[in-house]
Chains A and B, each alone.
Chain A
Amino acid sequence: MALPSYTETRYRIWHYFYIAICTFVFFFLIAPLFVIFPLSFNAEEFLVFSEGMKRLDPEAFSFRWYHEMVYGTKNPWGLAAKNSFIIAIFATIGSIILGTLAALGLSSRHMPYKGLIMAVLISPMIVPLIISGVAIFFFMAKVGLAATHTGIVMAHIILGTPFVVITVTATLSGFDHSVTRAASSLGSNPFNTFMKITLPLILPGVISGGLFAFVTSFDEVVVVLFLAGLENTTIPVQMWTGLREQLSPTILAVATCLIILSTLILVTAELLRRRSERLRGINR
C-alpha cells in the first residue's frame, strides 16, 4: 500500500499508525499459538521459558514431553486420542448425511416455512454450549445413553449439522438446477441424478462442512464433560483436566500436535473453498 507522493503529512502519519495497529492485531491473533512450540520442547517441568532456553542452550531443549505423551505410564492420551477420533469420525458422517439432506430440501424453492426451519436447524450453533450440554445430558440420561460413545456421537451430530447445513446451502445457492432437469429428461432416476450430477458438484461444500463438523466434535469439551464417563474421555477433556489440575508440559506437546492438525485442516478447507468458487464460477 504505497502512498501517493502528494499525501499530506498528517495522513501519512495516520496511515503508518493504521499499519501499526493492523500489525499489532495480526500479531495478537497469531503469536499466542507460537509460544506453545518452543515451550513444548522444554527440558524442565515448568511452563515458563527457563534461563537455558533464553540462552538457546541445546541442553535446555528435549523431546521429553513428546516421549511422555506417547509412552508415559498410566497416561490418558492414547485412550483419549482413540476416543476423540472414533467419536469425531462417526459424528462427522452423521452430520454430513443429515445436514446434506436437509440442505438439499432447504434449497428447493418449494420448501415451506424455510426461514423458521433454517433458524431451528442452525440453533445448536447459537445456543450457548452450556445450555445444550444440560439439555442433551438430561435426554441421554433418560434414554440410558449417558457415558456411552453413542450418546456423545449423537450430541456431536447435533452440534455439527449446522455447519454442514450452512456450507452445503451456500454451495447450492450457486447451483444450476437445469443440469439436474437435463439428467431427468435424459431418463435418469432421482437417485442416480443425485449421485452422478448433484453430489460431485456440491462435494466441496459437503467436505468443508464435514471438516467443520469434525473440528467441532474433535474440539468439543462442554457437552462431553457432562456426558462422558472415565472410558469416554477425549483429548479436549484431558486437556481441560490437565489445565485445571496438574499443569504439565505434556499438554503443550499435545497442543503442538493439535496445532499441526488444525493447520492441515485449514489448508484442506482453503483449497476446497477455492475449488468450489471456481466450480461455481463455471456454472455462472
Chain B
Amino acid sequence: MSSETKQILTTDGIPLEVSLKKAEKKNKIRAFLLVAPLLLFLFITYVFPIGEMFTRSVDDKMITNMLPKTFKAMEKWDGKELPSEEVFAGFYSDYKVLIENQTQGKLGQRLNKEKNGFNSITKKLMRQIKRNKIDESQSIKEQIMKVHKRWRDVEYWQAIKRTAPPYTMAKYLKGMDMYFAADGSIAQVDEDRRIHRILWLRTLEIALFVTIFCFLMGYPIAHLLATLPMKYSNLLMICVLLPFWTSLLVRTASWMILLQQQGVVNDFFVMIGLVADDNRPEMMYNKVGTYVAMTQILLPFMVLPLYSVMKTISPSLMRAGKSLGGTPFVAFWKVYFPLTIPGIGAGCLLVFILAIGYYITPALVGGASGTLISNQIAYHMKTTLDWSFASAMGLMLLSGVLVIYWIYNKLVGVDNIKLG
C-alpha cells in the first residue's frame, strides 16, 4: 500500500487500513468457523484416537500397578546379585494382594512372556501362600527361595525389574522381529521366527510391483483416452470408471471366480493348450492372485491422474517435435514423456499409498503367501486380541504412509486429487 492510501479515512473516521484489517479478521474467523465443525469432529473421532493408539502401543502399566511395593524396594537394588530381604517382602505382600483379588494369574502370564518358567513358579508360590505355609515372622527371602530353585536365580528377579517402567517399546521391536534381551540390549529373533520382517518386505514388494504394473498398463490407455476424439474416448472412459464405481467386494469376487482352478482363466489356458487339463496352475490364494486383482482394482487410480495431465498436452507439440526431425520415438521420449511426469508422480504415489494398506483383497485371494501387513494387524485385533501390538504395527505402517502422503502433498497438492 502506498503512502497516499494510508491517509484515506472511512466515513466514520477510522483509517482505511485499520478498517480493512478488521474486516479481514472477521472474514478469517468466518472462514475458520465454516471449517471448524468438520475439523472438530475429525479431531475427536479420528485424530485423537489415532494418537491414543500410540499410548496403547507403549503402555506397560499392568505389572507396574500390580507390584508397587516390589518396585519401590527394587529402586535400591543394583540388579547384579539376588535382591535383599526388603524386595522379597515387598513382592510377597504385593502377591498376596493379587491373590486376594484373584488377579495373580495375569501376573504369571505376563512375566512368563518376559522370561519362560515364571508361570509355574508363581503358581507354586500361590499354593504355598494359600496353605499359609509362609511364616511372616521369619525371613520371607529364605522361605520364597525354598519354594522353587528358580526363585534363587537372579535372572528371574532381573526379569521382574525389567517390567517396572510403565512404558515400553517392546511392541515396536516385536514388529521388527527384535526383542529386549536379558541384559536390556536389543536382540534379533531367531532366523526361522522372523515373520514380521518378511511381511513388511512383502507388503513393500507387492505395493511396488502393483504400482509398476498399474503404470505400465495405465500409461498407454491414458494416452489413448487423451488423444482419441471425444465421442470415442467418452465411451472408453466408461471401462475405466465403471470398475472405479463398482463395489470392491464385487470385483474381488469376480477375480475369485476367474482365477480358481476350474475358473475361466484356467479353462482358457487349457483350451489354447498352454497347460494340461490335469495340471491346472494355482492362481489364487497366492501372490499371483493378489497381484492380478490389486492391479485391476487400483488401475483407475493411475489412469485418471495421467489422463487429466495428458489432456492438457497439445498434440501440436508432438508434431513440432517430428517436424524438427525427431522420429516418433524421439519426439515421444523427449517431448511428450517429460510433460506427463507430474501425472506419473501423482498416479504412482496414489496407487502406492492405497496398495500398501490393502486389506480386503489380499485377505480373500492372497492365501498365506499373498497377505500383507494389514492382514497381520487385523489378525492381532480380532484373533490374538493383542491390541497394543496391533496398534504398534498400525502406527509403523501409518508413519510410512504419512511420509509418502507428505511427498505427495509437496509434489501434487492434496487439492489436486482428481476424482472421476
Contact = CB atoms under 8 A, between A and B. Distances in A.
Given A32-B243, A134-B394, A258-B246, 11 more contacts: A30-B239, A102-B37, A126-B408, A129-B374, A130-B357, A131-B398, A135-B53, A136-B46, A138-B52, A161-B42, A221-B248
Interface in A103-139: 104-106, 108, 110-112, 115, 117-132, 134-139
Quick one: which of A48, A136, A247 has the most chain B CB within 10 A? A48
B197 interface: no
B417 A112 contact: no
Contact size range, A: 35 or more
A263 interface: yes
Given A166-B419, A221-B249, A236-B249, A129 B35 contact: no
B45 A139 contact: yes
B419 A29 contact: no
B401 A127 contact: yes
Given A102-B35, A102-B38, A105-B33, A33 B250 contact: yes
Interface stretch (B112-120, B161-169, B219-227): B219-227
A13 interface: no
A266 B32 contact: no
Contact of B56 (A112, A138, A243, A269): A138
A207 interface: no
Interface in A250-284: 251-252, 255, 258-259, 262-263, 265-266, 269-270, 273
Contact of B242 (A25, A33, A169, A219): A33
Interface string B368-399: 00000010011001000001001100110110
A269 B419 CA distance: 11
* Size bin of chain B's contact surface: 35 or more
Contacts of B296: 28-29, 32
B178 interface: no
Given A1-B228, A110-B27, A222-B359, A169 B243 contact: no
Contacts of A98: 37-38, 41
Contacts of B254: 32-33, 35-36, 255
16 contacts: A1-B227, A110-B30, A110-B31, A121-B35, A128-B357, A128-B397, A130-B394, A138-B49, A138-B53, A138-B56, A218-B247, A219-B247, A221-B249, A243-B364, A255-B253, A262-B246
A33 B242 CA distance: 9
Contact of A126 (B33, B36, B249, B353): B353
Interface stretch (B6-14, B59-67, B72-80, B257-265): B257-265
Contact of B38 (A18, A121, A221): A121
Nearest to A268: B245
A240 B53 contact: no
A16 interface: no
A99 B38 contact: yes
Contacts of B46: 123-124, 132, 135-136, 139, 158
A101 interface: yes
Nearest to A247: B256
B417 A215 contact: no
Interface string B342-375: 0000000000010011111001100000000010
A258 B377 contact: no
A263 B390 contact: no
Contacts of B227: 1
Given A30-B242, A136-B49, A269-B420, A25 B394 contact: no
A233 interface: no
A18 to B, nearest CB: 6
Contacts of B205: none
Nearest to B24: A110
A226 B381 contact: yes
Contacts of B38: 98-99, 101-102, 121, 161, 165
Interface of B: 24, 27-28, 30-39, 41-42, 44-50, 52-53, 56, 217-218, 220-221, 224, 227-228, 236, 238-243, 245-258, 260, 262-264, 267, 296, 299-300, 328, 353, 356-360, 363-364, 374, 377-378, 381, 387, 390-391, 394-395, 397-398, 401, 405, 408-409, 413-415, 417, 419-420
A155 B263 CA distance: 37
Residue among A105, A108, A136, A269 having the largest count of chain B Cβ atoms under 10 Å:
A105
A236 B41 contact: no
Nearest to B229: A1
Nearest to B293: A32
A36 B381 contact: no
A29 B300 CA distance: 9
Contacts of A102: 34-35, 37-39
A135 B43 CA distance: 12
A28 to B, nearest CB: 6
Interface string A10-30: 010000001001100110111
A92 interface: no
By CB atoms of chain B within 10 A, which of A106, A127, A251 has the most? A127
Given A47-B257, A131-B397, A110 B419 contact: no
Contacts of B27: 108, 110
B275 to A, nearest CB: 17
A127 B408 CA distance: 13
B40 to A, nearest CB: 10
A18 B224 CA distance: 9
Given A101-B37, A243-B249, A262-B247, A35 B28 contact: no
B308 to A, nearest CB: 11
Closest 8 CB pairs of A and B: A128-B357, A105-B34, A105-B35, A108-B31, A135-B49, A139-B49, A110-B27, A32-B254
Nearest to B237: A270
A146 interface: no
Contacts of B387: 134, 138
Contact of A243 (B28, B253, B413): B253
B415 A127 contact: no
Contacts of B241: 266, 270
Nearest to B43: A120
Interface in A79-106: 98-99, 101-102, 104-106
Contact of B45 (A99, A154, A167): A154
A35 B258 contact: yes
